[in-house]
Amino acid sequence: MTMTDKVDFSGVAWGSVEWTNLCTLYLRAYESGSPAPILGDTAAAEAVDRIDYDWARMRRAMRPGSNQYLVTMRAKQLDDWSAGFLRRHPDATVLHLGCGMDTRALRLAPPKTVQWFDVDQPDVIALRRRLYEDRDGYRMIGSTVTDEAWLDQLPTDRPTLMVAEGLVMYLTEPQVRALLRGITDRFGSGELAFDTVSPMGPRLSKIFTKGIIKWGIRDARELERWNPRLRLLEQSFVGALCERIPSAPVRLLWRVVNATPMRNYDVLNRFAF
């Protein structure tokens, strides 16, 4: 799956979607160097080592030392849920939507019996293909997740896991409804693991980020009313793993956040269908 040549990413435009994906890759890589990492994404660190890019400028922008924990705590919880599903269903299909430059398929090292599909916009997948290759059991698909044509390429006779990290809040509510309906209608059974933001997200986005966050929900249990096939299994707030943060000041900051309603700003959800 992994190629070894040095890859020039210097043409990635600052502030683009591709750049955003490099930001999260960098933060996961940075955290992997901690003496006691939460995620331990050594595959991200290997990818950063292979990419020719202005990482010094990235470091100044991302300010690792605290910002990486939002990314790594969220990824760790979704990894744990995904790993549990794969233990129960070693013949599963995995749909990793909005995969970006994420190395989840490498971190989890699924058995060869799993069919794993990384899905993202064509430009993002084109960038990803400069680092990774398709192989038996692993394939990349360049498509917007709202274009259901990509679903026609997938097997439907296996338990199916959909993972979507930092994705659905950038879709409109009708698009989220259609995406979830398309998956539960097409596949016989499985689980969905994804994060949602509160309604505060779109409101703040209109002020600070030109409205790129389009959808928020107060309680994801409402999705059970949208789609009767969905059943909420568990939820976790994004800072639930904060006691594992090695930095005492950053750990204290997350404790404060977790003691306020802001703990519910970004919530991780696990549904069965």
Per-residue confidence band for 72, with pLDDT thresholds at 50, 70 and 90: very high
Residue range 83-95: average pLDDT?
A: 98
CATH code that applies to domain 8-272: 3.40.50.150
Residue range 192-212: average pLDDT?
A: 96
Beta partners for 39? Answer: none
Q: For residue 263, what are the contacts with CB-CB under 8 A and spacing of at least 6? A: 237, 239, 257
Classify strands 266-272 and 231-237 as parallel, antiparallel or unpaired: antiparallel
Q: Give the model confidence (pLDDT) of 119-159 as tens digits.
A: 999 999 999 999 999 999 999 999 999 999 999 999 999 99
Determine whether 200 is exposed, middle or buried from the number of CB atoms within 10 Å of its CB (0-12, 13-18, 19+): middle
pLDDT at 4 over 80: no
Determine whether 228 is exposed, middle or buried from the number of CB atoms within 10 Å of its CB (0-12, 13-18, 19+): exposed
Distance separating alpha carbons of residues 49 and 61, to the nearest angstrom? 19
Per-residue confidence band for 3, with pLDDT thresholds at 50, 70 and 90: low
* Domain boundaries along the sequence of the chain: 8-272
Instruction: Scan for tokens 């233990």, then name that residue.
Output: 87
Residues in the chain: 273
**91-124 burial string, b = 16+ CB within 10 Å, else e?**
ebbbbbbbbbbbbbbbbbebeeebbbbbbbbeeb
pLDDT of 1: 60
Residue range 233-256: average pLDDT?
A: 97
pLDDT of 202: 97
What average pLDDT is seen over the chain?
96
Q: For residue 272, what are the contacts with CB-CB under 8 A and spacing of at least 6? A: 189, 190, 191, 192, 230, 231, 233
Q: Give the model confidence (pLDDT) of 90-99 as tens digits.
A: 999 999 999 9
Residue range 202-211: average pLDDT?
A: 95
Sign of CA dihedral 255, 216, 63, 22: positive
